[in-house]
Amino acid sequence: MPDLLEPLQYAFVQRALLAAVLVALVCASVGVFVVLRGLAFLGDAIAHAAFPGVVIAFLVKINIVIGGSIAAVASALAIGAVARRSGLKEDTAIGVVFSGMFAIGIVLFSSIRTYTGDLLGILFGDVLGVSADQLMVAAITAAVVLVALWIIWRQLVFVSFDPIGAAAAGLSTVRYDTLLLGLIGLAIAVSVQIVGVVLVVAMLVTPAATARLLAQDLRALVVGALLVAVLSSVAGIWLSYYINAASGGTIVLVATTLFGLVWTGRTIARSRVAAA
């Protein structure tokens, strides 16, 4: 039995754990709305569309969370605007835009021929390289997201549950949707460091989806999502240490496994009830 406390003695593992927990908190709370409102595709699109901005931030050597935040929020708002105004069916327009932006990022990156090594880090996460500075910026951004979410929570729930009723009650659907998209963008920016552009949608969706399987009310959904997310992050980092695998992928794998277990358990429980 390996010494389970062994990884903790390294400062870089401590930082990685902290960063992963931040990602878990921020993504799970925003993820509640992503799951309830069916925004998974949109979330993935925002992450991909933010990629060229992240590349630029990386090349110009701005802190990647700051640069990434600007890119992700800008993408989120742009994609939101496309979704609202598009003449084509919504997801077609979004699909064209985000894959085009992603391709711009790839072309940009490959044209700067001297920096190849860190593309993997942006795409799949580079949690071991998190510096204290990056952690600080990530923490501040996460705090901003969580506070903002707390402030607009009730209104956002209303607007999501019954947009017409909420509009009639004086809540601007456009304003709250835009705010939500901006918060999704910031959550993505914080998470790109840990899990990368490609997997960040999993952090938004999987923990909240798992909690949704069991939750009877909103509070249970939020608490459940946060628990699953934090558990996945911590277990994922630990596991990746011992099996020598990429940390971002391991975290997502743990979260997905949890989803699978809960889903299977629920299906079995329901068939028992049905048979009885």
Partner 1 sequence: MPDLARVSSPPVSEPVVIELRGVRAGYDGRTVIDNVDLTVRRGEFVALVGANGAGKSTLLKVIVGLLRPYEGSVSVLGSAPGTSARRLAYLPQAETVHWDYPLRVEDVVLMGRVAHAGPGRGPSSVDRDAARSALGRVQADDLMQRPIQALSGGQRQRILLARTLASDPELLLLDEPATGVDPATEEQLMSLLGDLASHGRTVLVSTHDLASVMAHFPRVLAMNGGIVADGDASILRDDAILRRTYGGHRPGAPQHIADEHHA
Partner 2 sequence: MRAILLTAALALGAATLTACGLGGNGNPQILATTTILADMAKQVAGDRMTVGSIVPAGAHVEEYEPRPDDARRMSEAKLVITNGLDLDKWVEPLLRNAKTATPVITVTDGLPDIAGNPHMWFDPALSRGYVLKIRDALIALDPPGRDVYMLSAEKYSLQLLTLEAELKAKVDTIPPERRKLVTSHDAFPYFARAFGFEIVGFAEPEPGKPPSAGELAKLVEEVRSANVPAIFSEAGGSAQLAETVAKETGAKVVTDLPTDSLLDRPADSYIGLMRVVVDKIVAALK
Under rule CB under 8 A, residue 95 binds partner 1: no
Three-class SS of 82-134: HHHHCCCCHHHHHHHHHHHHHHHHHHHHHHCCCCCCCHHHHHHCCHHHCCHHH
Q: Which does residue 36 bind out of partner 1, partner 2, none, counting CB within 5 to 8 angstroms by kind?
A: partner 1
Nearby residues of 130 by Cβ (< 8 Å), 6 or more positions away: 12, 15, 16, 19, 138, 193, 194
Q: Which does residue 274 bind out of partner 2, partner 1, none, counting CB within 5 to 8 angstroms by kind?
A: none
Residue ranges in 12-41 that form contacts with partner 2 under rule CB under 8 A: 12-13, 16
- Binds partner 2 by CB under 8 A, chosen from 4, 62, 120, 268: 120
The window from 66-74, 91-99, 208-216, 245-253 that contacts partner 1 (CB under 8 A) reads 208-216
- Binds partner 1 by CB under 8 A, chosen from 153, 234, 239, 257: 153
Alpha carbon distances (Å) from 138 to 130, 168, 253 = 10, 37, 23
The footprint of partner 1 on this chain (CB under 8 A) covers a number of residues equal to 28
- Binds partner 1 by CB under 8 A, chosen from 18, 108, 119, 167: 167
The footprint of partner 2 on this chain (CB under 8 A) covers a number of residues equal to 46
Q: How many CA atoms lie within 13 A of 1 on its CB side?
A: 2
Under rule CB under 8 A, residue 91 binds partner 1: no
The window from 25-33, 112-120, 218-226, 262-270 that contacts partner 2 (CB under 8 A) reads 112-120
Under rule CB under 8 A, residue 108 binds partner 2: yes
Under rule CB under 8 A, residue 9 binds partner 1: no
Q: How far apart are CA 214 and CA 21, in angstroms?
A: 22
Write down the H helix ranges in the chain: 11-36, 40-59, 64-85, 90-111, 119-124, 132-161, 163-168, 173-214, 218-243, 247-275
Under rule CB under 8 A, residue 2 binds partner 1: no
Residue ranges in 233-252 that form contacts with partner 2 under rule CB under 8 A: 237, 240-247
Kindly tell me the burial class for residue 105, based on how many C-beta atoms sit within 10 Å of its own C-beta (0-12, 13-18, 19 or more). Answer: buried
Secondary structure of residue 213 in the 3-state scheme: helix
Under rule CB under 8 A, residue 131 binds partner 2: yes
Q: Judged by CB, which is closer to partner 1: 60, or 168?
A: 168
Q: Which amino acid would we find at residue 98? A: F
Catalog residues that contact partner 1 under the rule CB under 8 A. 36, 150-155, 157-158, 160-171, 212, 215-218, 220-221
